[in-house]
Amino acid sequence: MRMRAAVLVLVVSVSLTEAAGCVSTSPPHCYKTSTMQQEDFFCEWDKRSHEKSQTHTLHVWDSENKKILTVINCGEQEQKYVPLEKLGITTKKTDLWLQTQVGNITCNSSKVSVILECMVKYSKPQILRMKRLAGILNLTVDKPKDHKGAKYEIRWRESGSEWQNATFETKYSTEDLYTLHLQYTKSYQIQLRRQAKPHSDLCNNSLHALWSDWSPVVDVPSEIRHTPVIHWVVNKMTNGTRDITLSWDAPPVNESVGGVKYNLTLSVWPCAKKQKKMDHLTVNRTYNISVTYSEARISIFATNNVGSSPQEEIIIPAVKHLSYCDPQMSSYVITKAKKSCLEWYKLEDGETRPETVNKSTQKSFKDIKNVVENFVRHYYFLHTMKKKKHYQTAVMCPFYSKQTAPSNGPASVNISDLTHDSAVVSWFSIPVVEQRGFLQHYVIWISGQGNTRFYEVPAHKTSFLIKDLHPGTSYTISIAGRTEAGNGPNSTTNFETHSKEMGLSWQDLTILIICVVAFLCTIICSIAVRRLKLLPEVPSPVLDTIEFKCPEDQDLSQMMEEVHEFVLLLRQDLSKPREDVTSEQGTLLQDFGLVVLQEEDEENEEGGVTDLSSIKSSCYPNPSYRGQTLQLPEPFPMTDSISKDNDTESTYRNGLFFETRVGECDKTVVNKT
């Protein structure tokens, strides 16, 4: 018994170990791609093991009759095409599962019960067109295979933000349309998927309706509101051809999301009956092109995922009109040219190309010369086109059918730079419309002192220096333009030369230059002396200090500065006892700017005034003393008794030191600091 139990345990453990090596797949999903009844099915599943030797078998079980409908060997694939005939009746409930075999081990996926007729999985939707106007986005989506309405789920987001979802349904039509409201001037990303609508009561409660895969993420930019700004530059002009580089600015970032394409329309063959245009689509922002010397038109508009910009057109003007025929141009005529044409027009105001011009591929220059207006300047281009659409201008030239003399003379004849023997005459050139022919030169007559001189000036010049004139002489100048038909009317002016030589002689000029140089040298030397300090500095004035002499018997003890109430004592009051000074007296004395020291005698109980002679002054001034001595007039008459004592009174007020001495000279000396 024990032996049998051990063997049974061993067999069970081996079986479990082998079973553990088999990993089943996900339940199979069988579906058709449309709602049509005769549609075949696809079955797919997800592998959960990466074993290379595993094989799969699809089992279809009839739940109602309890029997196997079909068993399909799928090999190592992850999906299988299943013809409708092998599935039997698809309107009944059917069980599906997948059996996986790895070596000698097999395992089964979980079963799924479905009604196969309801299992429809549409292809992922494709966005055909997007049109955005401000905040409204109109989407056009392709129809499913059966062209029936469907249920859609759409999601959108700004870059880096969360998805927002919405659902909508469409009806039977050729295209599915949807309108989505977005914020103005912001770019988005968008995706869609769809699901078939149930077409019978069997599918109303189906839990296995399949969504299609999500469509690729599509960028939704803002609409391009402005036309592209075009720049152009001529690189070189050779053999009647201009090589031009076009460039244009890109739209803003929110309008360029998802990429921008540019559509160029070029009109470079001027003689086509219907202006020949070449369309080019490019994603670059530069383009090189060759055009003739005549006028060329270029238009461009930008296109993004939601629309196009307004169209911008520029005109590359014709080469500046020549005032004569270039003899080198005729050598560019190629006899083997595939095509040639003539372009001619009347020059408005004699210089400007009109908006419309005459063109012909049949007429020659002799033909048009006989039919244009006389005495009026015209212009013509002869263009040729070789193979590979190479365009060039063979000849460009102004012409007249007939010429005559100019209708007017030059305007604004003026005399300048007049001296005793020369003058400069200048004028305005005759306008082209008044030349009435090709201007060969200007004719100048100078008359004076009974003589007339004659000069010819090239037609492109508008001034002339007249020499060898006589001082103090009157002259008359006449100027006229000349064509091959003769001279036009004269323009006349008079002038008189100076009687003597004007300006400084060379001797005076030499003296003036020497003086200027000497003056400049003086200034430079003065500055150099000051900066280099070559001379000694001028000393500053010094104030001598006043010497003070103190009497031998003067008390030299330190004296504290105190400010007391003070009273002005007259000479006759010095011998009298001092009375107390009232506040009114103090205020009055402050107005005089004087201070009198008051010392009280502690022994005098009656408050009598100490004798003036007992007050001794210090011979040391205030620390801020500057040595300034103020001699005051004799403000008070002094008594003889006081003057004999030769006493000194010292006062201090607002930083000023006053020393009043009463001596034999009866003068008051005030030292002020």
Domain boundaries, the chain: 19-118, 127-220, 329-399, 411-496, 571-672
Q: Which residue has the higher pLDDT, 527 or 126?
A: 126
Q: What pLDDT was estimated at residue 87?
A: 80
State residue 298's pLDDT score.
Answer: 92
Output the CATH code of domain 411-496: 2.60.40.10
The pLDDT, as a whole number, for residue 242 is: 92
Q: Which two tokens stand for residue 178?
A: 């949807």
pLDDT band (50, 70, 90) for residue 648: low
Cβ pair 424, 464 in contact under 8 A: yes
Cα 624-625-631 angle, rounded to 5 deg: 145
Determine the pLDDT at residue 19: 45
For domain 19-118, the question of CATH label 2.60.40.10 is answered with yes
pLDDT of residue 433 exceeding 60, the answer is: yes
- Check pLDDT > 70 for residue 280: yes
388 has pLDDT over 80? no
409 — pLDDT class (breaks 50, 70, 90): very high
CA distance 328 to 236: 17
What pLDDT score does 6 carry?
A: 37
Q: What's the pLDDT score for residue 163?
A: 94
Contact (CB, 8 A) for 480 and 443: yes
Dist. CA 106–CA 10, nearest whole Å = 20
21 or 522, greater pLDDT? 522
Span 394-403, average pLDDT: 89
Q: Which pLDDT score, from 0 to 100, does residue 336 have?
A: 54
- Of the pLDDT bands very low, low, confident and very high (cuts 50, 70, 90), residue 572 is very low
* Burial zone of 523 (CB within 10 Å; 0-12 exposed, 13-18 middle, 19+ buried): exposed
* Choice between 27 and 613, residue whose per-residue pLDDT is larger: 27
The distance from CA 489 to its chain's CA centroid, rounded to whole angstroms, is 56
Highest mean pLDDT out of 82-86, 157-161, 192-196, 581-585: 192-196
Query: 326 pLDDT band (50/70/90 cuts)?
Result: low
Q: Please report, rounded to a whole number, the percentage of residues in the chain having pLDDT higher than 90.
A: 33
Phi-psi region of 367 (alpha: psi -120 to 50; beta: other; left: phi over 0): alpha
Number of neighbours of residue 44 by Cβ within 10 angstroms: 15
- Residue 178 pLDDT exceeds 80: yes
Q: What is the pLDDT of residue 540?
A: 57
pLDDT for residue 430 is more than 90? yes
Q: Which residue has the higher pLDDT, 412 or 601?
A: 412
Tell which wins on pLDDT, 390 or 2: 390
Does pLDDT of 657 surpass 60?
Answer: no
* Residue 529 buriedness (CB in 10 A; 0-12 / 13-18 / 19+): exposed
Predicted confidence at residue 488, as pLDDT, reads 93
- pLDDT-derived band of residue 35, with 50, 70 and 90 as boundaries? confident
Average pLDDT over residues 199-216: 76
CATH of 127-220, one of 3.40.50.620, 2.40.50.140, 3.40.605.10, 2.60.40.10: 2.60.40.10
Tell me the two tokens of residue 593: 């700017």
Task: Answer whether residue 331 shows pLDDT above 80.
Answer: no
Q: What are phi and psi of 547, to 5 degrees?
A: -85, 130
Characterize 598-636 residue by residue with b for buried, 16 or more Cβ atoms within 10 angstroms of its Cβ, and e for exposed.
beeeeeeeeeebeebbeebbbeebeeebeeeeeeeeeeb
Top pLDDT among 483 and 612 is at 483
Mean pLDDT of 365-374: 86
pLDDT for the residue numbered 615: 39
pLDDT for the residue 391:
81
User: Which range, of 94-108, 320-334, 490-504, averages the lowest pLDDT?
Assistant: 320-334
